[in-house]
Amino acid sequence: MDWNCTRTEERLSDFLEGALPAAEAAAFSAHAVGCAECSKLVAQVRGLMLRMEQTPQLEVPAPLERRILDATLGRRPPTAETKGWFGWLQIIWQPRFAMGIVTVAASFVIVFHAAAGENGRSALNPMNLLRGANRQVHLTYARGAKMVNNLRVVYEIESRLSAQPESLSEPVAPPTRPSTDGQPGQQPPANDPHEKSQTIPHLRHRTTPELAEMDLQPDFANGSFDPAPRSTL
């Protein structure tokens, strides 16, 4: 069979795909073996077909399917596959996580504020902490002692009142003030309550500032009773 380079080119794909009849294939091969140009071309195309056969399919960009579906079916809520990098943000919007985050943030703010302090004085400074604790202990002790003293005063008054009920059943006149008008001859009346109060002399002659200093309740410091000063208890 007469064969030439033009015919080799025309039937090249058929030859490489095994679609040539046996007689044509033999003529093709015989020509190609003897023709450098055709031999080279056959090798090139065979190599090209092999390369293309081995070439992998390209991967589809991830958002393309979603784009197509959105364009055709309309935009829908994202699925787990399409949440992507921002899917984790949805967790934050749950109330329990949001509350937790707010609490932690508030704690940090308080701690940092305390650490920074005001006017350079830090509440977290060990010396300031020690001073504060010392002050608090003393205040607590002083308040406790004051409460005990008040209770003792109340109990003592009650006990004395119960010991002399007849002397206190009568109305008690206001205490007689010392004479200030220079009348030395004036004597107190015979039934002056001052005499009755001789049994409890320290309940007399107490002034309002003194009572106030003893930190008594107003009912007890209303002039009728004058408990003993704190130092005498």
Residue 22 sits in the site that holds other proteins (CB under 8 A): no
Instruction: Closer to other proteins by CB, 23 or 73: give it.
Output: 73
* 14 lines the binding site for other proteins (CB under 8 A): yes
Which CA distances in Å does 149 have to 116, 120, 126, 142, 218?
A: 42, 41, 35, 11, 16
DSSP one-letter string for 42-69: HHHHHHHHHHHHHPPPPPPPHHHHHHHH
For residues 14 and 20, give the distance between their C-alpha atoms in angstroms, rounded to a whole number.
6
**Which lies closer to other proteins via its Cβ, residue 27 or residue 42?**
42
81 in contact with other proteins (CB under 8 A): no
Q: Which is nearer to other proteins, 61 or 184 (CB)?
A: 61
Site for other proteins contains 143 (CB under 8 A): no
d(CA 169, CA 80): 91
24 binds other proteins (CB under 8 A): no
Q: Is position 25 an interface residue for other proteins (rule: CB under 8 A)?
A: no
Residue 5 touching other proteins (CB under 8 A): no
Say if residues 28 and 15 touch (Cβ distance below 8 Å): yes
- Cβ 58 to other proteins shortest distance, Å: 5
- Please, what is the minimum distance in Å from the beta carbon of residue 37 to other proteins? 11
Q: Which of 12, 27, 32, 200 binds other proteins (CB under 8 A)?
A: 12
Instruction: Give whichever of 57 and 119 is closer to other proteins, judged by the CB atom.
Output: 57
Our CB check for other proteins shows the closer of 56 and 218 to be 56
Residues 34-63 that bind other proteins (CB under 8 A): 41, 43-61
- Rg of the chain's alpha carbons, rounded to an integer? 57
Please, what's the b/e burial string for 77-104 (b: 16 or more CB within 10 A of its CB; e: otherwise)?
A: eeeeeeeeeeeeeeeeeeeeeeeeeeee
Q: Which whole-number Å values give the CA distances from 55 to 42, 48, 49, 137, 194, in the listed order?
A: 20, 10, 10, 84, 126
Total length of the chain: 233
What's the helix, strand, coil split of the chain in %, to 5? 65, 0, 35
Of the two residues 42 and 157, which places its CB atom closer to other proteins in the complex? Answer: 42
Residue 167: half-sphere exposure toward Cβ, Cα within 13 Å:
16
Kindly tell me which of 46 and 202 has the beta carbon lying closer to other proteins.
Answer: 46
The only residue of 73, 89, 127, 190 in contact with other proteins, by rule CB under 8 A: 73
Q: Tell the smallest beta-carbon distance from residue 24 to other proteins (Å).
A: 14
Q: How far is the CB of 10 from other proteins (least distance, A)?
A: 7
Closest Cα to residue 128, out of 117, 141, 139? 117
Residues forming contacts to other proteins in the complex (CB under 8 A) are 9-10, 12-14, 41, 43-61, 64-65, 67-69, 71-73
